[in-house]
Structure 1
Amino acid sequence: MINLTGSTLNLEQLKAILYQASVVSLDEKALERVHKSRLAVEKIVREDRTVYGINTGFGKFSDVSIDEKDTKALQLHLIRSHACGVGDAFPEIVSRAMVVLRLNALLKGFSGIRKEVLERFAYMLNHQIHPVIPQQGSLGASGDLAPLAHLALVLLGEGFVWQGDEHVPASDIWKKHKLEPIVLEAKEGLALINGTQAMTAQGVINYLEAESLAIDSEWIAAMTMEALHGITDAFHPAIHEARGYPEQVDVAKRMLDLLEGSQLTTVQGEKRVQDAYSIRCIPQVHGASWQVLNYVKEKLEIEMNAATDNPLIFDDGDTVVSGGNFHGQPIAFAMDFLKIGIAELANISERRIERLVNPQLNEGLPPFLSPEPGLQSGAMILQYSAASLVSENKTLAHPASVDSIPSSGNQEDHVSMGTIGARHAQSIIKNTRNVLAIEALCALTGCAIRGKESMAAKTRTQFEKLLKVVAPIEEDRIFTPDIVAIEQLLKKNSTN
């Protein structure tokens, strides 16, 4: 069981909640803070103090006063009007992450929401009730309004939830569980939708998949090195310590570890003096991508435990401040940075694929790894597919965060577009996984030709794992199922 406190959630715990269905509990001290914050909201309503979102309209309507008798209707109208997302739904795992993150943020006790609402969120997580949330429609400030409105709809018995691959009405689910839908009180609708949880949830999934992919890229590159008789001197610790980047040092160390005992790699001067950059500079390039991952992880773990709604309630209600913690700029930058870091893993992988298939570069392997060059094309068009994916990544890597379109009558005149960046990052990760799958298939074939008995122990272990889902290229065949099989194997690694 993982105890949510509002301030201590880390990526390992979140991964367990997402992929191992760990049960969540609500910290008692956090619930005390939540209760005090709620009492403050009720006092504000009774005293008829003018506070944004409690007894005023929203956005450009913030100067419109709302009567006490209409405060419940105000929240209901807010959720319904803001639930205007479009496009395909976020994957169910992202929806689950959104529920966890919104719950954790509200547990900080700055939002004025009732503990009954948070207990319903916990019930949803522990009973696998996940809202169907359209991916498109968020500007990333004032937070992820449209996606979070679709999340909130489910609490109200409206909207849809996942049931297998189907979308079923939330009202049916609550009837099945013998629970009544939530009726929102003052400020609760605003507390539910003002936040960055869509971009952060997608960002967390992105990070977990990207971290796993970065690890996979190393053993795949090591297999490629064996197929190409790569020179291991380039990984000598002194080279990397002389530059000083810890991530670069670590990649070089792991590459030497992966290739220890290989009879297929060479030393400088044995076949040639040095390798091309896509081989020789693996620590420098992959290490830089690890720097990106470390940056992204740091920002995500801060945002996972952040109060991101507006206004925030302090000092038992004596201080209620309107601010802009819902602005997604930190995560927007992180996602744009992640896009570049992962796209580079695909860029360098595609160059290694070219070296594996090009008869001018592949150290005596058959042209295009073809079993019968000319009659059979072998891996020729596999490199085309990789090049296409890499080119697409370059378009997707354009930063979303440099754009902004004013909204709400120019009241919200600068926005982050962070959710777009997070969605594009997911596309780049999938494309990169496919590129690495192609490299893995080509490297598998190259190592099979060289003789697997000469491989390093650790790369041979990976070779054997690949053989369980694909075979080396021994005759032309439809290669799409092979790419899919390896891609799924790599994706599975991110959930373990």
Structure 2
Amino acid sequence: MQLPETFHFGEHHLTTGIAIGIAEHKIKAVLTDSCLEKIKASCQRVQNIVDKGDTVYGINTGFGPLCNTKISKEDTRILQSNILQSHSVGVGTPISEQLAKLMLILKIHALSKGYSGIAETTIKRMLWHMENDAIPVVPSQGSVGASGDLAPLSHLFLPLIGLGKVTYQGKTISTQKLFDKTGLTPLELGPKEGLALINGTQFIAAHAVLVVQKLQHCLRHADIIGAMMIEGLQGSIKPFFEELHQLRPFKGNQHVAGRIRTLLQGSEILEDHIDCERVQDPYSLRCIPQVHGASRNTWLHLKELLETELNSVTDNPIIINDELTISGGNFHGQPLAMALDYAALAASELGNISDRRIYLALEGNSPGVPKLLMEDTGINSGYMILQYTTAALASENKSLCFPASADSIPTSLGQEDHVSMGSISGRKALQIIENVEKILAIELLTAAQAFEYRKPLKSGVLLDEIHKFLRTKVSFAESDRVFADDIEKGIEIIRKSEIIGLVDKTMMKKKLQWDSPHLNEFEMY
């Protein structure tokens, strides 16, 4: 499937791939005339409520425990400006520009559905920030993920009223300086607009978008590197046979087994030891389909839930039509919070089994592969200490796996008495994934070192191409050196997805196809 060239906010179906494509200016996102008509109609409904004097939460009442405090018609606009300022209480290191921009994109899409009472001028200003990469500075801490991501979203939209900071043309500047540069002026928010802006799950959802993207990259790398380790340690192909996985047909397991079969296709190394006396391999090799596959299933679950969230209206109250306004709980982050905690565990386990394969490679129990992956040890420590690093990272990830969604602290004087902590779930999941990228980079180095000892035998064309590419970046280690330099190169290869790109290119050139019955389901569109 190809990503679209143009996306219609509020009308088209938003996915992880499309959101990232918009953020990277690969997809043009627009507000259509029909979308703007829905926005105008919803805004007018809010104004009608104000004019009639009907009491509706957040339009002419205070917020949270102040929901019973009536606000006069004259003060409804001041109320909306005040809420952005009073709720801008975030602390901590700012999130990345990419995350903040994704928040902006997701919020525009949700508000454009026409149930939030936002004004046309406000939504167009948000679109201007997105198109011109004037990205608000958003602190990383302060959301409990229940009444929406109140603090992060407040900071995200302070620039609409002339406050806060933005990153623009490579520099972080005040919004006033942005206005001086561009000629923009502060907006006066109408009734409900402030509340519509800061109610919602876009901080959690933006993190989930990156979790889906980055975890998928880790999963792909893990299969490729695991296959290279199988070759280096002379593992058996039989645990990956289709016949076995038809008897326990989890989608992820079948998909991973098929990928490994494809990666090992045509291998001389496999043929060389096909009749060896080894009965079975350790779990870290033999159970790759079951472990990687379980993480794949988790990824699929998060992707499916996230797509529902990306196309939902999550602020409060929601203006259904002229007669019906509902003060509900669509802002509650629990659906994504729990899924993100699950994804964090899946990512951690991917790093955990990778560390086990690294340890296995160092033992020297595979014929032809020396202990610590180096011939002259004693004077040389070989790859011994690289596994210390993966052990430390794997252990750190385990400590981060406590589910944030298991906690709840009442806020807003008890009005918000159960919260999701989904913002913490998202932040922790990304932290774990970053650690897994480092673990996989080290496994790539150790697998390539073991792979070298199989020469002059060749593997399949895919793994041979990967090994040749890696040797242009990191040389075979005959003696000790500063391995931190090698690790940094490995991390860069992982984060740039260079070997994934190489595999895709080689498969197209050789007209190969993945041997997986669930290929499309595990793609990210």
- TM-score normalised by the shorter chain: which range applies? over 0.9
Deviation at 1:330, TM superposition (A): 0.3
CA contact (8 A) 2:20 2:102 kept: no
Please tell me whether residue 33 in structure 1 is matched to residue 47 in structure 2: no
Deviation at 1:371, TM superposition (A): 4.5
TM-score by length of 1: 0.96
Pairing of 1:146-225 with structure 2 (within 5 A): 146-163=151-168, 166-225=171-230
* Candidates 112, 116, 122, aligned match of 2:117: 112
Question: Matches of 2:167 and 2:278 in 1, distance apart?
Answer: 57
Moved more, 462-471 or 67-76: 462-471
* Match in the other structure for 1:321: 326
> What letter corresponds to residue 290 of structure 2 in structure 1?
Q
Question: Matches of 1:435 and 1:165 in 2, distance apart?
Answer: 31
CA contact (8 A) 2:207 2:426 kept: yes
Please tell me whether residue 129 in structure 1 is matched to residue 134 in structure 2: yes
SS in 1 for 2:269: coil
Deviation at 1:269, TM superposition (A): 4.6
Please tell me whether residue 456 in structure 1 is matched to residue 460 in structure 2: yes
Deviation at 1:475, TM superposition (A): 2.4
Please tell me whether residue 303 in structure 1 is matched to residue 309 in structure 2: yes
Question: Matches of 1:324 and 1:2 in 2, distance apart?
Answer: 28
* Candidates 97, 103, 110, aligned match of 2:108: 103
SS in 2 for 1:108: coil
CA contact (8 A) 1:194 1:310 kept: yes
Change (3 A) 1:165 1:446: farther
* Match in the other structure for 1:438: 442
Moved more, 456-465 or 251-260: 456-465
> What letter corresponds to residue 391 of structure 2 in structure 1?
A
Deviation at 1:346, TM superposition (A): 0.6
Deviation at 1:206, TM superposition (A): 1.1
Question: Matches of 1:98 and 1:362 in 2, distance apart?
Answer: 49
Question: Matches of 2:270 and 2:139 in 1, distance apart?
Answer: 49
Question: Matches of 2:11 and 2:400 in 1, distance apart?
Answer: 33
Question: Matches of 1:385 and 1:211 in 2, distance apart?
Answer: 23
Pairing of 1:39-438 with structure 2 (within 5 A): 39-163=44-168, 166-265=171-270, 269-316=275-322, 318-359=323-364, 361-438=365-442
SS in 1 for 2:166: strand
CA contact (8 A) 1:219 1:462 kept: no
Question: Matches of 1:441 and 1:433 in 2, distance apart?
Answer: 13
TM-score by length of 2: 0.91
Deviation at 1:164, TM superposition (A): 5.9
SS in 2 for 1:419: helix
CA contact (8 A) 1:34 1:108 kept: yes
> What letter corresponds to residue 376 of structure 1 in structure 2?
N
Question: Matches of 1:20 and 1:216 in 2, distance apart?
Answer: 26
Question: Matches of 1:491 and 1:165 in 2, distance apart?
Answer: 22
Question: Matches of 2:448 and 2:357 in 1, distance apart?
Answer: 13
Question: Matches of 1:371 and 1:310 in 2, distance apart?
Answer: 66
SS in 2 for 1:167: strand
Question: Matches of 2:456 and 2:295 in 1, distance apart?
Answer: 30
Question: Matches of 2:439 and 2:270 in 1, distance apart?
Answer: 23
Deviation at 1:33, TM superposition (A): 1.2
Deviation at 1:232, TM superposition (A): 0.5
Deviation at 1:45, TM superposition (A): 1.0
Change (3 A) 1:84 1:332: same
Moved more, 486-495 or 20-29: 486-495
Please tell me whether residue 19 in structure 1 is matched to residue 24 in structure 2: yes
Aligned residues: 494
SS in 1 for 2:107: helix
Question: Matches of 2:15 and 2:456 in 1, distance apart?
Answer: 41
SS in 1 for 2:496: helix
SS in 2 for 1:409: helix
> What letter corresponds to residue 291 of structure 2 in structure 1?
V
* Match in the other structure for 1:485: 489
Show CA shifts across 1:155-179 (max 9, x none): 2221111236642112222332222
CA contact (8 A) 2:45 2:321 kept: no
> What letter corresponds to residue 446 of structure 1 in structure 2?
A
Question: Matches of 2:357 and 2:439 in 1, distance apart?
Answer: 10
Question: Matches of 2:471 and 2:350 in 1, distance apart?
Answer: 23
Question: Matches of 2:94 and 2:274 in 1, distance apart?
Answer: 52
Deviation at 1:96, TM superposition (A): 0.8
Question: Matches of 2:84 and 2:60 in 1, distance apart?
Answer: 16
User: How many percent of aligned residue pairs carry the same amino acid?
Assistant: 40
Change (3 A) 1:221 1:289: same
Show CA shifts across 1:384-429 (max 9, x none): 1001111111111110001000001111000000010000000110
* Match in the other structure for 2:508: none
CA contact (8 A) 1:441 1:472 kept: no
Question: Matches of 1:47 and 1:181 in 2, distance apart?
Answer: 28
CA contact (8 A) 1:452 1:460 kept: no
Unaligned runs of 5+ in 2: 1-5, 502-525
* Match in the other structure for 2:469: 465
Question: Matches of 1:65 and 1:285 in 2, distance apart?
Answer: 56
Show CA shifts across 1:28-70 (max 9, x none): 2222111111001111111111110011100001111111111
Question: Matches of 1:191 and 1:381 in 2, distance apart?
Answer: 52
Unaligned runs of 5+ in 1: none
SS in 1 for 2:414: coil
> What letter corresponds to residue 434 of structure 1 in structure 2?
K
> What letter corresponds to residue 104 of structure 2 in structure 1?
V
Show CA shifts across 1:428-457 (max 9, x none): 100111111010000111112322651221
Show CA shifts across 1:98-152 (max 9, x none): 0000000001111001011111111111111111101100000101000000001
CA contact (8 A) 1:24 1:125 kept: no
